[in-house]
Structure 1
Amino acid sequence: MKKPCVNFELNKIKGDVVKKTPLYDEHIKLGAKMVEFAGFNMPVQYKGVIEEHMTVRTKVGMFDVSHMGEFRVKGNQAFDFVQYLTTNDVAKLSIKQVQYSAFPTEKGTVVDDLLVYKVNDNEYLLVVNAANIEKDFAHLSKFVDKFDVSLTNESDDTAQMAIQGPKAEDTMFKIFGDVVREMKYYWFDYVEFEGETCLLSRTGYTGEDGFEIYCKPELASKIWNKILDAGEEFGIEPCGLGARDTLRLEARMNLYGNDMDETTTVLEAGLGWICKLDKGDFLGRDVLLKQKEEGLKRKLYGFEMIDKGIPRHGYPVFHNGEEVGVVTSGSYAPYLKKNIGLAYLPIELAKAGNEIEIGIRKKRAKAITVKTPFYKRPKK
């Protein structure tokens, strides 16, 4: 059986204490294979990546994502602060709405991608990648004095779980009731659990319908087990980082550090739809505007393998015998049953139907560029 490639690099922690999420003991009880990732001891798989991947595509799976970072921005100029430091247009957000965005540098490249939650007109919750918590907080802190805001890192005080799949709504409805059915995609609300307030959003990183719940660390195990019990009739399974990675790749969701970083711009990364150049001034806007006007020279684009072989992060890409790019993410796609990947290609090749070659173990395997997402969930 083909094995998916996990597209993130597992951090080797030298001298530092590896953190445990509030759900660490639950993972051990369930027999998870644990790895070090972004400074945390995380489950990479339980029963297996392919089985967990298929569970999310066809039933419902649950992930511990407590390693993610949460920053809270408050103050009279909270909107101005977030608007200046992100690429998307925060003005489009209503209260209790969520937005996918990115932190740009002065050069228009990507500090990180994130979710922006509008709590109220003077308060926003920013959810960032685990590996970038310290970097992101330091980046934002450089601008705090220029605005009437406070910036707080709540990452250590927040646990987070993601419940994903076509049966996610039915599962969460059993616990929280009508608010689950009424919630629209990329909106959030507050729910009560044992007298404590939790934030529940209809968001995820798998390409499926689903929810993410934020709570106090001391509630995490109780909520985790409550959800497992509620989802038992729907075939719920705990899932690890491996399946999370293959799911997001099938759905063509970028992974920071692989598909974009501080050497790539939002436009090159195929995220022009979250870069609102007409919203007014923001960090790096001039560079991005110039790049758009002059035209991109390269772009992140999808491909499928024609020949046998799994493309992996870092493999070279060839066209007409010349090396033209590099694979940023690649894996066997369990639901699609094919080998897929993303690569930065010259702009003339970044369109469907171009034959390329991937350097795999000193051989060159044929592939063809395709439109993405590779997988799109069926509409209800």
Structure 2
Amino acid sequence: MVVLLPFVLASEKVFILTPSCIISKQLAADFGSPTAKTSFFLKCGFFNVINKKLKNLVDQPLVTSPDEIDDLEENELVIFNAQKFSGKSRLSLSNQDSKDGVARMLRQFDTIIVDEAHHYPAATWNNIINEFEGKKVVFLTATPFRGSEDNDEWKKLIVKMETVFEIDLCKLEGVTIRRSEFVSRSCAYAPFGPNFLSKLKIDIEEYLNQHYAQDTRASQRKPQAMLLVRRRTEAIAVAQFLGDEATYVTSDRHGTRNLDDFTKGIKRIVVVCEILREGYDNPNVTLVLILRNCQSRVLFDQFCGRCIRIRRDLTGQKVDSTRGTVMSYDCFGQAKMWDARMKKSDSDPCEESESD
């Protein structure tokens, strides 16, 4: 969707706003950076081989780092995460020393595509989008908005916008995304104690084996699992208990290396807290486990979405038939969150911070 929009809108200079560096890098790969091998057009069959036409199509000047911002006038496509424009950053829109120059830079673009748009109207996102008054503004989200009828910024946005396309989740399941199920199991053990972790290990293996049996064409890359916990210390402890097949990804110096191991299939299980809760697309993930009392509908829905990406690289014409499983334990009280998943959220009061 994002890759096609600049062409559909006949845009000349496009700014894509994301919530994280991970999503920015994934989108850059879809656009064919740094190599055409990763481009959306090749993966989805627009081209069968890398030829001159494909190279010309994906040969878009691209900026994903603040270090390259000085060359911005020469770039037709910029992918940036919103946090680069906040605080004391050299690109901050709230800093008196930098905001005028950054605002002039943003006004050079004729189009802004806002990915994971449920983050609006957070202040940083609002400041950026305000600079595109009168330009082409496209909001994309698969998650109910976090706005409220009492929020003035939200009301002003809704008045100016129209819903161009909206589709029910049930119409996509089994076609472009996996069908999914929710399982909440009882557990008599204290969370994160040795007995609890032993049961967790058995349950993960059970469901991953079930998923493998549902579509054995995935034999080269077996199904994988993602676990969501609240604290970094929990992420590390759980990954260590689960053994050599598991790793953890948090916002520390090991995060990039560990994520790479999981993405390549070297590790089958990853435990996360601060990051990878949204926007991380890995079609080998078929099982997600929520090991916390999550009260945020946006966070819950986003993490459920990590297991619904259909694999496109399987042999034959049959669509990936693996079912995505969202699992938790009764002690975390997540059944009510699943029941409310299809309801649009008028508010999201629990934008929870992660800490030790």
Specify the TM-score bucket, using the shorter chain as the normaliser: under 0.3
TM-score if structure 2 supplies the norm length?
0.28
TM-score if structure 1 supplies the norm length?
0.27
Question: Which structure is higher in RCO with an 8 Å CA cutoff and minimum separation 6?
Answer: 1
